[in-house]
Structure 1
Amino acid sequence: MPLNDLLASLQEVPNLGSRDAYLEFVNYAGEAALRREGGREHVTGSCFVFSPAFDRVLLCFHRKGQFWVQFGGHIEPKDASVAEAAQREAREESGIADLVLLSTAIVDLDRHDLNAGFACTAHWDVGFAATIDPNVDIAVSDESEEVRWFPVDELPDQVPTGFGTRVENVRRRAMSLIG
């Protein structure tokens, strides 16, 4: 059950500053927290895709948001977990069919308000990480205008506030997953 899986996974996360708020929100909203139609705020899954050397990150230019960001989106009824939703979204939005998460361990929590271009008002994003050879073929989905690799220390200007710090924190956590 995705709700129980998420609650258990959140309990394992070192307090990333917002873990307790996530637990409170998910416990309060219950299953509705995992559904797009469950309310104006809900959980989403995302995936930061790095090169195996963790020196590059693959980002998409989000059509609605008009910024560069990691892959991610809403949890679908067919997703068995938030991690599975994040992996599916990364595959769909990057065109990389064989992309696999490094782990089902949560590496990022980011609640963000959305602008008027969105039907919902906030996403409680739960982030995971993957690595893939940067020479792999990539594709642009309907939700993005472009997909491109960037050096982790040379991100583009059009990113959400604090995104560079998030990428660095996720990179460190993801590297620790592989030892």
Structure 2
Amino acid sequence: MPVTNDDIAKTIRAHLDAHPEDAESLAPLLEAARGSDAPLASRTTTPGHVTCGVVAVTSDRQVLQIRHRSLNRWLLPGGHIEPDDASLLDAALRELAEETGIPRAWANPALERPVDVDAHVIPPNPAKREPEHIHYDLRFLLAIDPPAGNANVALQLEEVADYRWAPLTELPGRLSDRTRANLLARP
């Protein structure tokens, strides 16, 4: 069953329970999820829609970053929700596997809700006939536990140019703080 606006509203409310300071920036998304027939899980919904990403962290506190080919920036793995995704977390896990080859079996969700939600503007893409729009990126925190001696990454070269494992301290402010706090709270 595809991800619905109700699923998105429920997830945003759970995030806001933990981070009420995000209420103002997420109000447009929550309002659209509650009152719009436009599917916020669809990449064609404008002026904004939901995407799902991951903060993939190893036991030695290294975070996986990918070099996005068309944006030419270091980003967290993630992307658009597909109709076959059973949940928002499922979409994030699928994107991780697609972009990096890291299987779901290596990823253990640290939370059922996103650790962070980032709203950012995506520039227009004439080749895809996409206007400028907003991505509300729900970022899920995953502990990555590859089998001993096997931390290989197999990039989806159509979208990803490179990857790196960066120290957790290199994540930007709020995301770094929230990630560290949730990792420290884990048993």
Q: TM-score, normalised by structure 1?
A: 0.83
Cα distance in 2 between the residues matched to 1:31 and 1:176? 38
Matched, 1:131 2:143: yes
- What whole-Å deviation, never above 9, does each CA across 1:61-112 have from its counterpart, x for those lacking one? 0111111111111110000111110111011111111343333211111110
Give 3-state SS (helix, strand or coil) of 2:119's partner: strand
Matched, 1:73 2:74: no
Report matched runs for 1:107-118 at 5 Å.
107-117=115-125
Matched, 1:36 2:43: yes
Alpha-carbon deviation of 1:11? 1.3
Quote the residue 2:98 is aligned against: 92
Give 3-state SS (helix, strand or coil) of 2:152's partner: coil
Give 3-state SS (helix, strand or coil) of 1:136's partner: coil
Matched, 1:23 2:30: yes
Matched, 1:140 2:158: no
Q: TM-score, normalised by structure 2?
A: 0.79
Structure number, greater radius of gyration: 2
Cα pair distance change 1:128/1:56, threshold 3 Å: same
Matched, 1:169 2:144: no
Is this contact kept in 2: 1:103–1:177, CA < 8 A?
A: no
Alpha-carbon deviation of 1:28? 3.4
Structure 2 residue corresponding to 1:103, chosen from 99, 111, 118: 111
Alpha-carbon deviation of 1:176? 5.1
How many residue pairs get aligned? The number is 170
Cα distance in 2 between the residues matched to 1:58 and 1:130? 10
Cα pair distance change 1:39/1:21, threshold 3 Å: closer
Q: State which drifts further: 18-27 or 59-68.
A: 18-27
Gaps of 5+ in 2: none
Quote the residue 1:51 is aligned against: 58
Cα pair distance change 1:47/1:165, threshold 3 Å: same
Alpha-carbon deviation of 1:173? 4.5
Cα distance in 2 between the residues matched to 1:73 and 1:28? 24
Cα distance in 2 between the residues matched to 1:174 and 1:49? 13
Cα pair distance change 1:43/1:173, threshold 3 Å: farther
Cα pair distance change 1:67/1:170, threshold 3 Å: farther
